[in-house]
Amino acid sequence: MIQRIQTLYLFLATIFAAGLIFVFHLWVNEGGVKVFATDSYLHLGLFLGSAILSLISIFSFKNRKSQFVMGRFNIILNFILLGIFVYQSLNVSGETNVSEKGIGMLLPIFSIVCLVLANKAIKKDEDLVKSVDRLR
């Protein structure tokens, strides 16, 4: 059952989390150097953790409930990553260390949208199976 629509959404979330972090920079620092997610172990770990969780969720299609829970956990993981980006772009003192933000900071938002759509499709499949079981 890999041909379902949630597989496409989960695959897109995997591409956003693992593939595009090597292409798009997160920000440009004061020296004009582009900072990628691979420069920090925290960012790299969270991005790759999200990608691995999406891949595991793709191949656990037989257990829709655990797939749904993994999707929710992945959404929380991406919100944590987004919070770290917001915190780093706006320091506590009100000053900004980041001179120019890159599109890489938006990758968790794109991933969250794909994961929400995937969870919606998983929930729809689960409701369909429950309705068929009632008819038996």
Domain ranges in the chain are 5-130
CB atoms within 10 A of CB 64: 16
- Which pTM value belongs to this model? 0.87
Mean pLDDT score of the chain: 87
Give the sign of the dihedral formed by CA 12, CA 83, CA 50, CA 97: positive
Q: Which residues pair with 100 in a beta bridge?
A: 28
Task: Give me the sheet containing 34-35, strands edge to edge.
Answer: 34-35, 27-28, 100-101
Strands 34-35 and 100-101: unpaired
Per-residue model confidence as pLDDT tens digits over 77-116? 999 999 998 888 776 544 555 567 778 888 999 999 999 9
What's the pLDDT at 35? 83
